[in-house]
Structure formats: structure tokens, C-alpha cells
Amino acid sequence: MLHNIDAKEYHCEYICRKPRLSRDYLLSFREDSILMRGQRPPVLAEAVTAAQTASLQYLFSISDTSFYRSSTPFSETKTLQYRSVQYLRRLTEPWLAFASVTGYHLDTWYRRNQYCGGCASTLCHKDDKRALVCPKCGQIIYPHIAPAVIVGIVHGEKLLLTKYSAGFNQSYALIAGFVEIGETLESAAQREVYEEVGLRIKNIRYYDNQPWGFSQSLLVGFFAELDGVPRITLETRELSEAVWVDRSDIPQSVSTLSLTSKMMEAFRLGQPV
């Protein structure tokens, strides 16, 4: 999956580390686009000068390589161009794909939290942790992580597959949705299933989880059994299709990045779920 980066280690703790031009990476975003040099984000030396490093913001490290953010977009050149963040799904180096998507998560949070929600003052960066602080009222804002559930609904040898009404990806998926305030993960799974396809579920069991910076989320996957009749009532504002598919007819996943793909493939192969 996206966060599986082989033998490398992700270090999320915030530290003050001086950028190294020849080995650390720049993560520069322009809304939902990321600055790329071919198949990867640029090394600092390929995009910034030594004088410009003072304005860079440390994000995190993977093993001994650090990643920095620029709050100001760069001008494109023949070798440096902004591409949709969805392009990151195609990167061949897993650790760079994970780093880039995680950087997008953080960049989105920084861009959307420039002013205090209590007094409207301009927020400042804390020096000792990854947080923003209001210099006037003292409010501290930490990065936002939205928990979401993914539900694989099993009915005998069939799995419920869906397609979204909107979005770039029209491949089959599973029921998914964000957890509301006051809900447990299991109750969120029950609610999302009933809202989107009008079905009841039982025997809800945890499968796996995954950070997913594309939507600033932590995805939690469950399998559950159909409780009652399999008649689908489609919520067309969310979904364009929902069908029961026999195990042998589930299309083999071409992606290894997402929890959804892992869950569908596990059921297709008859693995324990």
C-alpha cells in the first residue's frame, strides 16, 4: 500500500533540521498540483539556491532523507513542471510516492489554516512542534486528520462493489465515508452502508488501516456480512452504481497503493477477511 516503503523508515516528528541541497527534496504544491522533475519531486539543488533555503519549511524525513515545503509556488521550466497530485499514484519509487502524498496532506493543512478561527489574527508556526499558534489569543492548531471507514460487504460468495457519481477514478470501489463526531468506527460503517445502498450489516470486523494524504484521511477498513435481503437502494448523489459481484468475477486489482484495492483483492483470492 501507499505507506509501505520497504526498508525505509518514516520519521514524522518535527525537528529543526538544516536543508541539504544535494540530498533533500522539495515538495512544492500549487493547489492540487505538485512540482515534479520527470518521475519524481526535485532535489533541493535542482530547484532552489542556497539563499532560498532559509524560507523552506521542514516537513518530515524518510530514513536519512528530509523533505521541505515551499509556501510559494515556483515558476515552471523545461525540467520542472506542476502535475496533478493524482500523478503520484504512478510513481515507481514507493517511498517518494508516500512522501509526496504526505507532503500534500500537510501543505493542504498549512494553506487552509493561515488565520485564527477565534480572533482572525495571522497564525504563526510553533518552533518546538508541528502546530500553529495564534499570537493574540494563544489558540494552538494541530494538523487535521479525518478518520474514514471502508466497508467490504460480503454476501456468501459475493462482494458489493460500487462506483462514485463524481471523481477522477471510475473504477470499482467499496462503500466508504468519513466518521462523524460522536460515532465509533463500527457505527460509522453501519451508517454509511445504509445511507449509500440501503443495506444492513452485521459481524463487522477490522481488516487494516492506511494513511491517505489525498483526502487528508486515516482510512480504516472493515469487512462485514449482509444482514437481511440483498436488495440495493442506491443513493445517486454519492454513487452511480452498486452491484453484487461473484468472487470469481471481481476484476484483478491493477493498483497496490490503496486499502480498497487490497481488500477487494483479498476477497477475490479467498484470503481470510
b vs e for 63-80, b when ≥16 Cβ sit within 10 Å of the residue's Cβ?
eebbbbbbeeebeeeeeb
Mean pLDDT of the chain: 95
Q: What angle do CA 182, 187, 189 make, to 5 degrees?
A: 125
Q: Where are the domains of the chain?
A: 10-112, 113-143, 146-268
Q: Right CATH number for 146-268 from 2.40.50.100, 2.30.30.700, 3.40.1190.20, 3.90.79.10?
A: 3.90.79.10
Contacts with 64 (C-beta within 8 Å, 6 or more apart), sequence order: none
| φ and ψ of 171, to 5 deg | -75, 165
User: Percentage of the chain with pLDDT > 70?
Assistant: 99
Q: Which helix (H) or strand (E) covers residue 190, if one does?
A: helix 185-197
pLDDT of residue 169: 63
What is the tens place of the pLDDT at every residue in 152-173? Answer: 999 999 999 999 988 656 789 9
Residues in the chain predicted with pLDDT less than 70, given as ranges, are 167-169
Instruction: Write out the E strands in the chain.
Output: 10-11, 25-30, 33-36, 57-62, 65-70, 81-84, 124-125, 132-133, 140-141, 146-155, 158-164, 175-178, 201-212, 217-226, 239-246
pLDDT of residue 167: 67
The Cα-based distances of 149 to 29, 56, 180, 210, 240 in angstroms read 27, 35, 11, 10, 19
pTM, entire model: 0.94
> What does the alpha-carbon distance between residue 232 and residue 58 come to, in Å, rounded to a whole number?
48
